[in-house]
Each structure stands twice: as C-alpha cells, then as structure tokens.
Homo-oligomer: A and B are copies of this chain.
Amino acid sequence: MNSTFKSPHAHVQKLTGETRFVEDISLPGQLAGGILRSPHAHARIVNIDTTKALEIEGVHAVLTAADVPRLAYGPTKYKDWNIFAESEVLFIGDEVAAVAADSKELVQAALQMIDVHYEGLPAVFDAEEALSPESPLLYPQTEQNRPMHLQLERGDVETAKKDAEIVRGGRYVINPIYQGHLEPIAALASWSEEEGITLWAGSHIPYRARETYAAAFGLPEDRVRIIVPPIGGSFGAKYVLKMHIIAAALSMEAKRPVKMVFDRKEDMISAHPRVPLKMDVEIGATADGKFVYKDVVVYANAGARIYWSPNIVATACTRPDGIYHFNNVRAEGNLCYTNNSPTTCMRGFGNAEMLFAVESIIDEIADSLKIDPAELRRMNIVHQNERTAHGYQLDSCKLEECIDTVKKMANWQRRDSLPKNRGLGLALGNHVSGFRGIDPRFDGSTAVLRLKATGDIEVETGEIDLGQGLSQTYAKIAARELGISDQAIIVKSGDTARHPFGIGTLASRSTVMGGNAVQLAAAEFKRKLSAFMKELYGTEGKWDERFIVVGETAHSFKEIATLFRMKNAGEELLVRSTYVPNTELPDHTYYGNPSPNYPFAAHVAEVEVDPDTGRVKLLGYWAAHDSGTILNEVGAISQVNGAVAQGIGWVTMEELKLEEGRVMNPSIMDYRMPGAADIPDIQVSFIEGEDPHGPFGAKSVGEVALDPVPGAIANAIAHAIGKRGYSLPFTPEKVWTLLHTEESK
C-alpha cells in the first residue's frame, strides 16, 4: 500500500528527483492518445475514413471534426481555432484526427489506418508574400491574410527625417526557433460526468486555458479543471495548446483517462516556434548623436492560426521606445497568416527581436559618428521619473548605472585595443513586470495564506511556477514579510479548482504581480495572527521562526493553529488578499502604463571569430541589471545565466529549417542548441534599489535578461570583423560568407 510523501518544497523535490511531471502521472484505466496530422501545408479534406482504425482491438476512440463540437474559439480575440480540421488543412501538422487506445503502439497503428483523402491547394509561407493579392487566402473573412495591421506614430517622423543628419537601418530577419523546453508537451485528461474535464497539463496560464477549453466544448468554465504539475521548462511554448483539448476530447469519448506525450519530433513539428519577424528599421540622429526618429515596419509570420503573435507584433513595435528617446517614432506591424505551423511566444516576446535591430543600428550610428557606443546610448536613454513615449511611468530606472557598471565589469576601455578577430559589443534591454493588456479585462493577482494544522504556512496562488522558481520567491516574500525563514512556508499553485484566480506566468509578471499579492496577504496574516495572540495572551508576542514567544513560553505555530481552530469553529487562520496594480490599459494608439514597473539591463558580450570557419566563440559575458530589490539572489542570477545561454543559442546556432512549411530538422541532433562548452563565464551584477511598486521593491528579471543578448552579440561580432549581419542566427556559414563578401548588406 503505497503512501509516499514528497517534500513540500518544489525546489527540493527537483533536487531529490521526486518531482513528477505530467508524463510521470498515471490514472487508473488510462489510455494512450495520439494525433493524426496533415502532411500537406494546404489541402482540402475530401474524405476521412476511420472505419479500419476503429476496428482494431484496443482502440477506444477515434475522433475527427465530425465527432466534436465545432465552435469558433481561441485564447485571444482572434477566434480561429477548431478542435480538428474540418474541410481544409492549413499547415503541415494540422490536427485531422485523434486516437485513444490501450498502448502507444496501438495508437500509432490506428493512426496509420485512418484514410484521409486530400486535394492539394496552393499555399503561402512567407509573411510578406502572404499579403499579396495573388496569395491564397487562409481565412476568407480575413482580408489579405492580415488579421492585424498595427499603425502608430508619435511625433512626426516625416518631419524628423528632414532633421536627421545621419540615418542607419535596414532589414533585420529573426529566425524561427524552438523554445527548447526539456519536458516535451504532454497532457493527461480525465473526463467524468461528476467532475467534468480534469486536465493535468503544463500550462502557465491555466485560467485562460480553462476559459479557452471550456469554450471549445461549449461548457461552463467550472466543468473544466486544470491541474498544473511541475513544468519542465516552457519559455513561452506552454500557454494554451490544442493538444490539451484533443486529449480532453479523447477522454470524453473513451470515458477513460487519456495521456498524450509528444516525442521530441512531434514536439518540434507541432509545438509553435518563436514568431519569425522581418523588420525594416531605420533610426535617424543628429551629428552630435541625438536620436531624432525611429521608423519600423514589421512583417510577422503568424502561421496558420493565432496564438499570441498579435501581442508580439505590438511589443516589437513599441517596447524599445521605453529605453531611448527616439523623439519621433512610427511603426507598422503586419501580422500575416501563412501555411506554416502557428507561431507563438518565447521569452523576450518581440522586444528582444526588435532590440537586435535597434541595438545593431545604434552601434552603426556610433561607429559613423565616432562616438563610443556606450556613450551614445547614455546620451539617449530614459531616466527615473520620466513617462516614456508610449506612457510607461518609470518610478525607478537605474539604466545609466547599468551601463556604467557593465563597462567596468567588462573592462570596456580595452575595446579599442582588442586582439584581431575579437570584439566587445554592448546592448541595452528593458522589459515589463506584467503587461496590462495581455488580459484587457483585468490585471493583478490574489494570494491566500493559511496556517495549517501542521503549523506550516501555506501560500496559495493562481500564478504558475514554470521552473523559474516562483514557489521559492513567494516563500521568501511571505517569510520576509512575516520576519521568519522560508522553511515554514509551502507554496501551492496550479489547480484551477482549488487556488485563487491568477492570470498566470507571462510578461515577466510573477514576482511583481503574484509577489505583491503574497506580500499583502502575509502582512494581513501577521496582523490577524498577532491579534489572535493578543486575544489569547494579552500581547502579540515575538516571532521566532515556527514559534511565537510570550514571556518565557514559546508557542509553536502548530499549537497556535490548534488554538485558532478551537476558537474559530475549526476554521484555519486564513487570509485572502488581492493586489490590483496601478497600471493603465494601453489605448488604441498603444499609449498606456502597462506595468507596475520596468526593469533594465546593460550587457556586454566578448567574441572571437574564427576567420577560417566563421565560427563565433563567446569569450566573456557581463550583465548589469536594474531589477529593483533582488528577493532570491540565486534565482535571479540563474535567470540571467539561463537567458544569456538561451540567447547565445538563438543568436549563434538555432533555427528551425522550414521548407514549404515543413520542419526539416525536428530533432535535437539536427537542431543544435548550446552546450556547456558554448557558454562563457557570465558575470552578473544587480544595481539594487527599491522600486515603489514591487514587493519589497522588486522588478522582473526573467525576460529583460534575454532582451539585450542578440544586440550585444551582434555588436561584438561586428566589432570583431568590421562587418554586420542582419539575419539571425550568426552561424559559421553566415559569418564566413559575411567575411568573404565585399558589401555586408
């Protein structure tokens, strides 16, 4: 009779190997599930015959569009999702049918026995090309394959162009990359009449997922429960996923639990890569280095369905304007449907992409004007107490200190005397700590704190630990507010039926949004517990770890919990607090104050380029960050280390090779990601200071740590070889070609 216990602390579980991911979870009577995917980028479905598949013994469900609700739904306002393709498939990998059976082998056998008759249709794969009237329309109701066309201007860019004494820019191209989560996408769905749909699945926005999945089936939200086990990495890949819905549909049909786990190939084919962007970017400046305008046009390849690409386009078009005074800015964003697999978020979320262009151009201007690139930046950056072009209220900003610090760290003055083929590149980054507008309805977070009968303090949150260490950070916040160590505190999250509502982990929001809620709740908890002590003993007592000392007597939390229940009808001491940030939803012109605060960073990369092979080797990396107060130092440093490593992969090696919509390298063998040998020593420094809006003054760190990486590496390469690449990644082949081409652009 098994009654194993886990450590209550998520990070300890990871160390001891106790962590159980979705794949490790099994339910009685569980079946395996699998999806039949379109082999065509665009085709009409003439007929589907599932007869033979259904005849296989051990096959419990075979589903196509004919068997499921056909409602228009989707996680954003673009309701272009289905459960299965009905009349047309729109990309290679599009979901056509699904099978639940006794084993994975039977699932595969049954999938092969489903007979689909397709009739090929013309397809389009390039975002710009998709806008042409000659291209096939993916959705008849969407003109020009363009579901979103952003146009904004502040100031007067045309007039500013006349004032510019130097103009630099060009077309920058962002590679489609795989988020590279270690844990493949997986779901375990269990449907019952009593409980509705229960889904164990790694979504870091499970409440939005619940809303979306309920809509897919036309169910009320409380008939869907999402339980989020520990997530083995996401980086944006695991928001809201159709495979979760298909697992649920199979379970509803088979009336048995269904587990579906992608292998790496399916994960790479059907998971949704970083949105590839083409960006025409131009920046103008005066001869003494004052920026006068920035003008951008973005073409974003959404693939065949909308995940979060609209938000990424908007971010690319606006976010860098929160670092520099460009004075006049204009942006056009074109989101384009194509017959590629839908694309979606990844850490950095449009900003890191655009900063690759902006930071490259700034270095070009600096070179041309013979101004130190760091100095040119210093001349144009934002400062504390400013409100930026699009309305960001900077109540804290230590960007200047970041630049000064990273220069010192990297020994910047040696830049002019580096050996041959070596370069130092600097770039800046900013980000948000939550983004008002991801859910236009509301913003903020709620936390519950309770004193358990065991004497543990339990924190419940609706935000999700996707591996970034949210549980540990929240425990530290609660502990700091309570004045004790975090060992007595257990953080629980990831169950939509049990925990408070949360928007989820995205836009670097968890520390500030959920953390503020935890801090509020902890303060209220302490007040309530102190009042109870006063009621009992006439004094609040003195807290000492798991005890409150009154006179000579140390009362344990456990004892106090028992006394509290005795005085309160068995009810635990429980508080529930909501943090509602003072943010402003960006208006239709994208003006607003979307985040409680804004972190900044300055990074320097040092590279050496092998002129014979074009190989770029990172020799050093220095990061100076303004993330306000650092609550969890190990966690924060690890975030920067991880982001830099991820950026090195993105910028120097990674790319999903797409040929007519087909991923040609769907394996970790063929899709190279960085290993330990690719990563230099990374030095991190935090310029601490209290932001007035963060918990104990904290700001976010997760994404701002990636934002400067492409620019810093690009600038270092340009510095090393005197030529500049405009298209990521800087593979040896591309760099070699650059070295051996007369004109780099």
Which A residues form the contact surface with B (CB < 8 A)? 1-5, 20, 25-30, 67-69, 190, 192-194, 200, 207, 217-221, 223, 227, 229, 249, 252-257, 439, 441-446, 453-454, 462, 497-498, 500-503, 513, 517, 562, 565-572, 574, 576, 578-580
* In contact, A444 and B568 (Cβ under 8 angstroms): yes
Nearest residue, chain B, Cβ from A497? B498
Q: How many copies does the complex hold?
A: 2
CB distance from A556 to the nearest CB of B (A): 17
| B28–A569 touching, CB < 8 Å | no
Residues of B contacting A256 in the complex (Cβ-Cβ under 8 angstroms): 28-29
Is there contact, CB below 8 Å, between B578 and A571?
yes
- Given A453-B221, A580-B569, CB of A252 within 8 Å of CB of B442: no
Given contacts A439-B570, A578-B571, contact A219 B444 (CB under 8 A): no
Complex contact A192–B570 (CB within 8 A): no
Return A557 CB to nearest CB of chain B, in Å: 16
Query: Which of chain B's residues have a CB closer than 8 A to the CB of A2?
Result: 193, 252
- The distance from the CB of A229 to the nearest CB of chain B, in whole angstroms, is 8
Chain B residues closer than 8 Å to A28, beta-carbon distance: 27-29, 190, 192, 254-257
* Contact across chains for B578 and A568 when beta carbons are under 8 A apart: yes
A500 to B68, CA, bound (A): 37
Q: Are B570 and A579 in contact (CB under 8 A)?
A: no
Q: Is the CB of B445 within 8 A of A569?
A: yes
Chain B residues with CB under 8 Å of A20's CB are 193-194
Within the assembled complex, what's the spacing in Å between the Cα atoms of A68 and B3? 11
Q: How far is the CA of A257 from the CA of B576 in the complex (A)?
A: 35
* Set of chain B residues within 8 Å of A580, measured between Cβ atoms: 567-569
Most buried by B among A2, A252, A570: A570
Q: How far is the CB of A160 from chain B (nearest CB, A)?
A: 38
Residues of B within 8 A of A193 (CB): 2, 4, 20, 25-26
Residues from chain B with Cβ under 8 Å of A194 in the complex: 20, 25, 200, 227, 229
What CA separation (Å) do A1 and B28 show in the bound complex? 21
Within the assembled complex, what's the spacing in Å between the Cα atoms of A501 and B453? 12
Q: Please, which residues of chain B bring their CB within 8 A of the CB of A565?
A: 441-442
User: Given the complex of chains A and B, what is the CA–CA distance between A126 and B621 in angstroms?
Assistant: 87
* Contact present for A442 and B501 (CB under 8 Å): no
Q: Judging by beta carbons under 8 Å apart, are A576 and B578 in contact? A: no
Query: For the complex, what is the distance from the CA of A572 to the CA of B576, rounded to whole Å?
Result: 12
A3 in contact with B218 given A567-B580, A568-B580, A571-B500 (CB within 8 Å): yes
> Shortest CB–CB separation between residue A442 and chain B, in angstroms?
5
Q: How far is the CB of A597 from chain B (nearest CB, A)?
A: 17
Least CB separation from A562: chain B residue: B441
Q: Which one of B1, B441, B444 contacts A253 once the chains associate, using CB atoms below 8 Å?
A: B1
Residue picked from A1, A220, A566, most chain B C-beta under 10 Å? A1
| A69-B67 Cα distance, complex, nearest whole Å | 47
Q: Point out the residue from B192, B200, B253, B576 that lies within 8 Å of A27, measured CB to CB.
A: B192
The CA-CA distance from A578 to B574 in the complex, in Å, is 11
**Are A219 and B3 neighbours in the complex by a CB distance under 8 Å?**
yes
CB distance from A457 to the nearest CB of B (A): 14
CA distance A500 to B200 in the complex (A): 24
Interchain CB contact under 8 A, A1 and B68:
yes
Q: Would you call B442 and A223 a contact (CB within 8 A)?
A: no
Chain B residues contacting A67 (CB-CB under 8 Å) are 1
A731 CB → nearest B CB, Å: 44
- Taking CB atoms, residues of chain B closer than 8 Å to A68 are 1
* Min distance, Cβ A496 to any Cβ of chain B, angstroms: 11
Complex partner residue of A446 from B5, B253, B517, B569, CB under 8 angstroms: B569
**B578 contacts A1, C-beta separation under 8 Å:** no
- For A25, what are the chain B residues with a Cβ–Cβ distance below 8 Å? 192-194
Q: Which residues of B contact A1 (CB under 8 A)?
A: 67-69, 217, 249, 252-253
How many angstroms from the CA of A351 to the CA of B578 in the assembled complex? 49
Closest to A218 in B: B3
Chain B contacts of A443 at CB under 8 A? 569
Cross-chain contact A568 with B442 (CB below 8 angstroms): yes
List, in ascending order, chain B residues with CB within 8 A of A501's CB. 569-572
Contacts of A5 in B (CB 8 A): 220
Most buried by B among A29, A69, A227, A503: A29
CA–CA, A33 and B69, complex, Å: 37
